[in-house]
Amino acid sequence: MDGYPAHLAPEFNEDGGVLTPFEEWWPKVRHAFPNVPEEVARYWLHEHWRYSPYGWLPSADYQFQITRWPTKELFNIRSGWCNFSTESTECYDHGKSLYHDYTVNSAWPYKTVSYMSEHGNFPTPIIILDNCDGHLVSGVPPVPSNEQLPAAFVLVEGHRRFNLALYLQSIGKMRDEVDVWLMTRVNSRSS
């Protein structure tokens, strides 16, 4: 987000993992991200610093709101995991694989799979960008010219949780509604 300004970066280990604990980092940098809620900062900014494909999104142009999302409408969200396909087949198949690999066929469980299977909800909400109006256009700042976002709801964080939710919903293991962070535009742009 915001191009990951170097002066706000947490420290990293040799493998590129974040070293600075979130509780130490966030109080020092939150002033630079006034629209970003703490939970979004923890799971998108801090955890994915430098690695999110949506690091170019300007935080000042968006607000984040917890929204109840019908699980039967999860397939309306487009994910880069499956090249924004309207069918989300690759996402669904990955979710199915996660479920079976870590619950049915595994001696060591994946906590996210266990949590979602048991609670029918996300352990932390996924983040969805509302680009239904098509305001983010390839090559028009801030969008890089190699970025092609659909005019749709676009998943920006929580890809594994989303994939798993698609599968769990299909087998009746998700609640009727789940909490998501909906990212909506607050500033208009001239085209």
Together in a domain, 152 and 129: yes
User: Who wins on pLDDT, 79 or 1?
Assistant: 79
User: Is there a domain that residue 11 lies in?
Assistant: yes
Are 74 and 143 part of one and the same domain? yes
Classify residue 59: in a domain, yes or no. no
SS3 percent helix, strand, coil of the chain, rounded to 5, is 40, 15, 45
Q: pLDDT digit string (tens) for 108-136?
A: 778 899 999 999 999 999 999 999 999 99
Number of domains in the chain: 2
| Rounded alpha-carbon distances, angstroms, from residue 99 to 49, 50, 139, 159 | 27, 28, 38, 14
Residue 1 within any structural domain of the chain: no
Total-model pTM: 0.91
| Residues spanned by the domain of 43 | 6-52
| pLDDT tens, residue by residue, 75-98 | 999 999 999 999 999 999 999 999
Which residue(s) pair with 62 in the sheet? Answer: 185
- Kindly state whether residue 70 falls inside one of the protein's structural domains: yes
Q: How many helices (H) and strands (E) does the chain have?
A: 5, 5
Q: Is residue 107 assigned to a domain? A: yes
Q: Is residue 191 part of a domain?
A: no
